[in-house]
Each structure stands twice: as C-alpha cells, then as structure tokens.
A and B are shown apart, each in its own frame.
Chain A
Amino acid sequence: MSSKIKILVPVKRVIDAALKPRINKTKTGIESQGVKFSINPFDDIAVEEACKIRKNNKGLVESIHAVTIGSTKAKEVLRTALARGADTSTLIEINEDKQIEPLAVSKILKKIVEKEGSNFVILGKQAIDDDSNQVGQMLAGLLGWSQATNAAKIIIENDNLIKVEREIDGGVEVIEAPLPIVITTDLRLNEPKFIKLPMMMKAKKKPLGVLKPEDLNVEINDRLETISLDVPPTRKAGVMVKNVDELISKLKELEKQA
C-alpha cells in the first residue's frame, strides 16, 4: 500500500432510535425537550467499521477523526466515537435550535476533509431524524471522489483498492474503487459492540476541538422551508363480519365511499 488511510467519520446527534418522536405544538419540528438523544445508529456503525478496518489491517490506518455539527450537547456523540476508538474529533458548533440542511453539512464536511487531509470518509447512509440520505452523495460530488453507498461489507483490497458490497434486490452488487472514497453504511455492515469502561475513560483525554462554520468560511443558507408537520392519519378500526355475504356487501359499501 502506497498511501496510508486517513479516515474521517461524520456523526450526528439524533433523538434515540428506540423512542417514538413527537411533533411539537407549533408543528414546525420534533419535540426535543426532555427527550433522550444518542448517536445516529448508522453513524455508530460507521465508527465501529472504521475501528474494525484499523484492527484488521495492521499499520494501514494512520488516523480516525470524528466530526459532528451541532450544539455543545453534541460533544457527547463525539465522546461515544472517541470511546469506540476514534483518535481525535471536532465539533462544528452551531446554535441549538438551528436545523442545518444536507448541502450545508456537505460543504462543511468538505472543508474538514481538506483540513484533516482525509482520504476515506465513512458515514451513515442517513440520519434517522430527517432520513435525508443525501450528505454522503453530495460530499462525494463536491469532492469529486468515488462513492459507495449503503455498504453491507467493506473489504480493503491490496494496493489502494476498496471493495464494497451493497445489498440489492435479488443479490449483491460489488463496487470497486481506489482512494479517495466516500462510503455510507447500511444496517447490515456490523453490530456496534458495548464500549468498555477503560475506553470511555481514555476518551475523556482525547482531543475534542471546537470550530464555528465561519472559521471554515462556509456560509449556511437555508434553501428549504418546512411548512407544517403532521402525524399520519390513524388507521380506522376493523369491522367484524359474520359471513361471506356480509363481507361482500361491506366491500361494496367501502368501494362506493372511496
């Protein structure tokens, strides 16, 4: 291998995946008061995979850097990434109630890639809060790099060649690409392990830098407007029918209504 791999893992702090999100009173977003936040599960998989790549390919990975965009509270997801095995991290600090759009995220990440000299970006295929599924692709586009989305398996082939398997209908698609590359992770890639206490303690001493978007000369412009949020209509209760005749007449009735 000629060049060493420098991994960048962007992570996001989101409402815990196991909780049911509630729409806020003004119907402009999700209620975030008194709700548990955790690292986006797909991003957790990305951090785990970065650490696995380092473990399974001795001497190949030079560094793993984790980055997140959010309020100071987002530091906790960086700590999770550091405890899992990332070496260093950066928080791009924005206002707590600021929603930042995928394109702006990608622009910021591009700057971080340049700043850190990364040649391998691995991140979740989407964040479970807005389910945009855009950042990985946009980032690859902005950088002009190869991209492999929804990775179910990553194999580091010899001499600068990355092989990525993605699950598609009826089989597996295999993509091969050289560095530099952006990879987004699917659920199948790995199952993040429990983090041991000594790692958590070490993580507290690892570097966590803080920057503002202005420091990176990125201007954040909103291009999207959320009109209103609503929960899907609840399903109507079922009706019991006594026999086939009644079933048929009920179906006819429903057809008329529709």
Chain B
Amino acid sequence: MLRLFTRSTRNIPLCQRFSSTLTADKYPNIKRGDFGKINDEDINHFSKILSPNQLITDSNDITGYNQDWMKKYIGQSKLVLKPKTTEQVSEILKYCNQRKLAVVPQGGNTGLVGGSVPVFDEIVISLASMNNIRSFDQSSGILKVDAGVILENADNYLSENGYIFPLDLGAKGSCFVGGNVATNAGGLRLLRYGSLHGSVLGLEVVLADGTIYNSMHSLRKDNTGYDLKQLFIGSEGSLGIITGVSILCPARPKSVNVAFLGLENYEQVTKCFQKAKSELGEILSAFEFMDKDSQLLAAQTLKTTHPLCQDDIEGIESVPEYPFYVLLETSGSNKEHDDIKLEKFLEDVMESEIVVDGTVSQDEQQLKTLWTWREGIAEASQQFGGVYKYDVSLPLDSMYKLVESVKERLNELELSSTEDNKKPVYEAVGYGHIGDGNLHLNVAVREYNKEVEKALEPFVYEFIESHKGSISAEHGLGFQKKNYIKYSKSETEINMMKDLKKHYDPNGILNPYKYI
C-alpha cells in the first residue's frame, strides 16, 4: 500500500538528540495536578479487571505510548491499560475517578498536537485491543465499529461491500476510528462527504465516573432532545472515552480520476478552484494545493520523478519551476460521464491559462503515485529532525499570505536556510485543503528550539486572529494549542466549555493539561 502511513523508522540523529526532553521539563510552568499516584494496590485492582497481557508496566514497552510520533511530546506514564470491552473501560474509569488517578485515552497515537500522550504520569488507556467491526447494514450503509478499529481496515471492509468510509487521511494505516471521532478529524475528502459531525450517527462513550453513554442506534433522523453525541466529537478525550462508533457510509465511487496541475501563482489556484466547483460539480471529491517548497521536501523522501517532469531524473532535480501545484480528484458512478466533465474542465483551464501544466492518472498505480506527492509532505517535513505544524482555517484569499509572512519572518530573524546546517529551520512550506479553506503550515526544522518557537508563536496565532481564521482547523487543540484557544473562541464560549468539563469530569481526571 503506497499510501500507508509509515511512522518514520529512519535514523534521524538530531531528532533523537532532542527526543530525550520530557514534556514536563520543556514546559516547567506546567505543574502536575493534584492527582493520586499509582501504587501496588491500584495495579492489583486493575489486574482483577484485566488479564495480565492487557496491562503494561515494563518501562521499555511503555516508551511508544509515552511519546507522539513526532517525538515532540514525551510523558512519564508508568502504566498502560488495554481494555477489550466497554465494561472494562467503565470499571477502569470508575476506579480511577474514585482514586483521582489521571488518565489519557490513546488511539493510534497519530495526533499532531500532543493530545494523546501523557504529560506527567497519567495512566494510558489504549483502545488498541478494541478492534472489532460490530455490524454493517448493506442497505443503509451504517457501520458500527469498536473505537480501536484502524481506519484503513474499516475502509477495506467497506470496500468489499461497495461502500467507502466518509473520511480519509494520510495516517489511515495507523489511526483509529475512535480517535478520528474524538478529534473530529477532517482529512482529504471532507469536501465531498462533510465533517464527522454529520456522518456519525451514534456513539458509545464511557464517562469519567464509569457511566456508559450509549447512542449506538442507526437513525438518520432523531429530533428528541439535545444531540449529545456532538459533544464528544472533537472533545479529544476530555469528556469521556469513545468506545464505539456508528457511522453512515456512502456508496463507494465506481470511477475515480486524479489530475495533478502546475500553476503560476496563488490567485490562479483560487480561480482554478472556482472553475472546478462550477464545472465538475458533484463529482469533485478533493482539491488540494501544495507550494513548490513542499514538493521539494517531498521529492527528497519519495526519491522518485515528479509527475510533471518529463526527463529521467529523480528527486529534487525533477520538481519543475511552478510555484503552486493542485491535486484534484473526481469520484462518481459513471466513468464516461466523469471523463467528459473532467476533460472539458481541463481544456478550459488550460486554454484560459489558469493552469500551465498538468497530467491525469491513466491507471490505479499512477493515481496512487500522484497522491503520494500530496500525502508524503507530512512525513517529508520532519526528515531533517522535526517539524512545527500549524493547521489553520483562513479565508481563501488570505490563506497563503500566512506562509509568506512566516517565511519572511524566519528569514529576517536569520533562523532559516536550506543549505546552512547551523540554522535551526530548514524551510517553511504551505499546502492543504483549498476546498475547506484549511491550510497546513509546516516549518521543517533541524531541531526543536525555543528561539524558533518564539518566532512562530504567538505570531502565527495573531495573524490568524486578525484574519478571522481558526487556529485549529482539524488537528485539534491537544497540548500544543491549549493556551491559544482564546484566539479563536470568545470568553463566553470558553466558559461554557469549562462548565461542561466540570460537570462531566469534576475531578478532571480525563486527559488533563490539555484542550481548555
């Protein structure tokens, strides 16, 4: 699987050098909450609920659970629990709540804001062992799964039944469906299938005191009372632990085309998007843009020939001189119909010179290859040691200005260079989902350091606030953005959120130090 998201196993000495810093040491202002400390009695109690292989106390085995995949946040948990049933989760939380033991729920641990790893010694509750597909209704397309089912497995299962999971993202080979819902993941096909707030029909959630909230029904319409499940979608484990998901899945498109285009400037990218919406209409399923520097980064890890290069060269040399690239996907039920529409659209944008160069996939292999030049950017961004990631919503016209401003700022402060290895920053690149007004700003760095952090924050957040954007479009708040929520939400809103949190988790044991 080309698009399978591999957690980097490459040797990155710089990354390892900086990986030894504990989150607690990096942020000395954050103090451990007034939580209980795990003792032998606690372990004994958990041993009664779970079988021995569901309990991890060996420090070597815990390492992977203590750090995020970017190795940016490193906790000090001494205990990982891997429940297999909702009842086990309930018993664990009931006990933790009584004992005031802090917990951090963890899915595939592919998060980008440090939301799924401990900060201090919180107990990690991994959903990895809850990985059964519960049921699928062939006529309605409603899928019910355990929270720990890997997204790609769910999609492969649906594929055999002629359906598709309404969410797709780069980390699909590792991330869990439960984690996707808990973080309200957006991904690559939001443009077509909408957000999880729309497609999730019901949830099974264990609250802080062990109460099981169950709304795993299969109703598309249900106007009785508050829509409680919405509270948990995007709550990042702060209100409860999602153990089951009921989700409405659309029919799998029979015909998929991918075009990869080269454009002269950002304005043409937005023009191209408008044209795509009006000419392709309902078959447009993704519209992604990438700047040239992001392609140069990707070329260094992909080590293949760029799709728009005509010579037999590989890697960085093969990336042509276009400042912007667009990956456009159409999905429909009738190939002839889609082909005619796409052809007409491509002719129009070429003739009107909105697009100066481009290609269309001729087979499945090419289709996958084209996607790697978009999906590969995330991994490529940290090849030099690390990456500062910002995932923001901005109005389309000012979207790329953020990348330009950050580049300018890093250059002014003399922090950035692609050649000089002594500079902490390699390059800032921009790409993302034009269709959703969602920009990813990745600052590829050779090391994580305070100077770079100060140059970026709150600069980036202030820019977003002044342009009426959101500081987190889809990655969430987690640990990284906890203190910056005020740039996107009013005081009233934040207070309402805090009230909810206090009500459902009075002891604050669920995923502390994060979110709000």
Contact of B254 among A34, A195, A197, A200 (CB under 8 A): A34
- On whether the beta carbons of A194 and B255 are closer than 8 Å, the reply is no
- On whether the beta carbons of A197 and B255 are closer than 8 Å, the reply is no
Chain B window 330-344, contacts with chain A (Cβ cutoff 8 Å), 1 for yes, 0 for no = 000001000000010
Identify the interface centre among B255, B261, B307, B359: most chain A CB within 10 Å of its CB. B359
- On whether the beta carbons of A201 and B350 are closer than 8 Å, the reply is yes
List A contacts of B355 (CB < 8 A).
197
- On whether the beta carbons of B363 and A38 are closer than 8 Å, the reply is yes
List B contacts of A197 (CB < 8 A).
261, 346, 350, 355, 357-360
Shortest CB-to-CB span from B349 to chain A, Å, is: 9
Contact of A194 among B256, B343, B347, B359 (CB under 8 A): B359
Query: Does B62 have its Cβ within 8 Å of any Cβ on chain A?
Result: no
Query: Does A66 have its Cβ within 8 Å of any Cβ on chain B?
Result: no
Stretch at the interface among B169-177, B364-372, B375-383, B478-486: B364-372
- On whether the beta carbons of A36 and B255 are closer than 8 Å, the reply is yes
Q: Interface residues of B, CB < 8 Å — how many?
A: 27
- On whether the beta carbons of A18 and B358 are closer than 8 Å, the reply is no
A52 to B260, CA, bound (A): 23
- On whether the beta carbons of B366 and A17 are closer than 8 Å, the reply is no
- In chain A, positions 19-58 with a C-beta closer than 8 Å to chain B are 19, 34, 36, 38-39, 41, 44
Query: Does B53 have its Cβ within 8 Å of any Cβ on chain A?
Result: no
Shortest CB-to-CB span from A231 to chain B, Å, is: 14
- In chain A, positions 185-212 with a C-beta closer than 8 Å to chain B are 193-198, 200-201
A210 to B274, CA, bound (A): 39
Nearest neighbor of B261 in chain A, beta-carbon distance: A197
Query: Does B223 have its Cβ within 8 Å of any Cβ on chain A?
Result: no
List B contacts of A19 (CB < 8 A).
364
Query: Does B129 have its Cβ within 8 Å of any Cβ on chain A?
Result: no
Query: Given the interface contacts A196-B308, A196-B310, does A80 sit within 8 Å of B350 by beta carbon?
Result: no
List B contacts of A16 (CB < 8 A).
363-364
A39 to B254, CA, bound (A): 18
Shortest CB-to-CB span from B362 to chain A, Å, is: 5
Q: Interface residues of A, CB < 8 Å — how many?
A: 19
A17 to B362, CA, bound (A): 11
List A contacts of B347 (CB < 8 A).
201
A16 to B347, CA, bound (A): 26
A194 to B347, CA, bound (A): 17
Nearest neighbor of B369 in chain A, beta-carbon distance: A194
Chain A window 166-202, contacts with chain B (Cβ cutoff 8 Å), 1 for yes, 0 for no = 0000000000000000000000000001111110110
A75 to B308, CA, bound (A): 25
- On whether the beta carbons of B364 and A18 are closer than 8 Å, the reply is yes
- On whether the beta carbons of A193 and B305 are closer than 8 Å, the reply is yes
Chain B window 384-418, contacts with chain A (Cβ cutoff 8 Å), 1 for yes, 0 for no = 00000000000000000000000000000000000
A17 to B368, CA, bound (A): 12
Shortest CB-to-CB span from A83 to chain B, Å, is: 8
Chain B interface (Cβ within 8 Å of chain A)? 254-256, 260-261, 305, 307-308, 310, 335, 343, 346-347, 350, 355, 357-366, 368, 370
Seed contacts A38-B364, A44-B362; 6 additional CB < 8 Å A-B pairs: A19-B364, A36-B364, A44-B363, A80-B362, A194-B361, A195-B359
List 6 A-B pairs, minimum CB-CB distance, nearest first.
A18-B364, A38-B363, A194-B359, A197-B358, A194-B307, A16-B364
Chain A interface (Cβ within 8 Å of chain B)? 16-19, 34, 36, 38-39, 41, 44, 80, 193-198, 200-201
